[in-house]
Amino acid sequence: MTGFILLHRQQGIFLDFLDSLTRQGLYQTPLYLKALDSVAFASLAKQIKDENLLYKARVAHGATLRFLNEALQDPVQATKDSTLASVILLSLYEVIVRESVRPSLWEIHHDGWMLIIKLRGPEQFDTYVGQSMVRYIFSHLQAACLSKSLRPSFVPVFNHNPKFPISVFSDTAIRVTNYCAKAQELKMSLHEPITIELLDHVNAAVELEAELDKFPYLMVNKRSYRTVTIAPAQQRTLPLAYPDWLNSYHVYSDFRMAGIWNFWRCSRVFVKDAILKCVTRLKAMGGLGQEGMLNELISLPTANMEDYADGILASVPYLLGQLSPIEERKPCPYPPPIGSYFILWPFQVLLLRANLDAHRIEFMHSVLKYIRDVPGLGQADVILSFTSNYNKQNPMASLQTAVNEATRSLSAL
């Protein structure tokens, strides 16, 4: 358990509140201790393939759920830092041992998070630990809403508190989430949306793309990343074979910074996917056959999905601990599973939304298999299975291909 906490402290700003809670001595509750046991045992069991440790993890997980039910019945216990931290740890446990047939990682225990946050009130923003946990939850709720094309109804809980200001990019990410949700609503609407309504939403992407274009410039004076190359001799020492077409890699200051950049790249993918949903509805209504319709679509500043995908793929060696960070740290004596958590959601987004070529998909599959087999995260196998079946039946891929072909044809005129 101690090693699990130290590992998170050493490898960047991810679950850093565990170390803070432990050092403050605020973790001495049966609930928190059992939650830590369940995740630490599960993480180590998956890495060293030990069924006895996995059994201990499941026993601790069952005890955690019982203690949590008791804590939620007590107004004092329900609002403690250790209680909210325990619910976060329960979601992490699911990532490690997940055996579900759907990649629902980003919605696990969200109802519990929101209930406790509302009960805790504004005082939770007064401490570093409270802000750290809320920041973790906020980012996961954003990812969940984007993945499910839902409106971010959770925002008022955070946005109305001056002690927890939403950053510039978070505000843009919320706009992306609302944009994608509206596209889904238009696509699934039972009434026939008029053509101009769909076109207006497609054209609204111009302004949104312009906002997203500003992000790299906003990050210039902040902790960003450096680009490096991996020589063939060095590649042979790594557990993964990196493709020739990916000839540069990114090394970040910490895992959280890598997560922010990849969230931005995923946001670009989601906007493109939202546009395609509107195009799908237009196509079903015969709208694409109208004069000038396709030209308007082509005029949009549509991003090159391969560029954003390659940016995510370029972060893999760093996130898997195979390249040194900008801020040098002492080597960690434990297997490095932490960065693998930051790969799962971006890979799920790319495999379901980006319609990439076979070479990139093959590389992502090899990375997911590595995460499944070495750090031992069960969610990687779920994503592998689900996305393979999904892509076989995905009509969006053929539509995007048709639009891209039409774009190239008209551009050549």
pLDDT digits (tens, 9 = 90+) for 324-360: 665 444 444 444 567 888 899 999 999 988 888 899 9
Tell me the pLDDT band of 156, cut-offs 50, 70 and 90. low
> What does the alpha-carbon distance between residue 161 and residue 122 come to, in Å, rounded to a whole number?
7
The lowest-confidence range among 94-98, 181-185, 402-406 is 402-406
Distance CA 271, CA 275 (A): 6
pLDDT over 50 (residue 409):
no
**Tens-digit pLDDT profile for residues 307-328:** 899 999 999 988 888 876 654 4
Residues sharing a CB contact under 8 Å with residue 315, sequence separation 6 or more, in sequence order? 225, 249, 250, 252, 258, 261, 262, 342, 343
pLDDT grade for 3, boundaries at 50, 70 and 90: low
Average pLDDT value for the chain: 77
Chain segment 24-57, per-residue pLDDT in tens: 665 678 899 899 899 889 888 888 889 999 999 9
Residue 7 is predicted with a pLDDT of: 52
* Angle formed by the axes of helices 338-353 and 255-284, nearest 10°: 10
Across 149-163, 211-225, 288-302, 382-396, which has the greatest mean pLDDT?
211-225
Mean per-residue pLDDT for 168-173?
78
Each domain of the chain, given as residue ranges in start order, spans 1-166, 167-413
pLDDT grade for 287, boundaries at 50, 70 and 90? low
Its pTM stands at: 0.83
- Residue 264 CA to residue 307 CA, distance in Å, equals 12
Amino acid identity of 254? D
State the alpha helices, DSSP H only, in 98-167: 110-120, 128-148, 155-159
DSSP, collapsed to helix, strand or coil, labels residue 45 as helix
Q: Stretch 78-92: mean pLDDT, rounded?
A: 89
Using CA atoms of 37, 41, 44, 48 in order, give the dihedral in degrees to the nearest 10.
160
Q: In this structure, are residues 307 and 264 in contact, taking their beta carbons and an 8 Å threshold?
A: no
pLDDT at 150: 86
Rounded distance between C-alpha atoms, residue 255 and residue 40, angstroms: 20
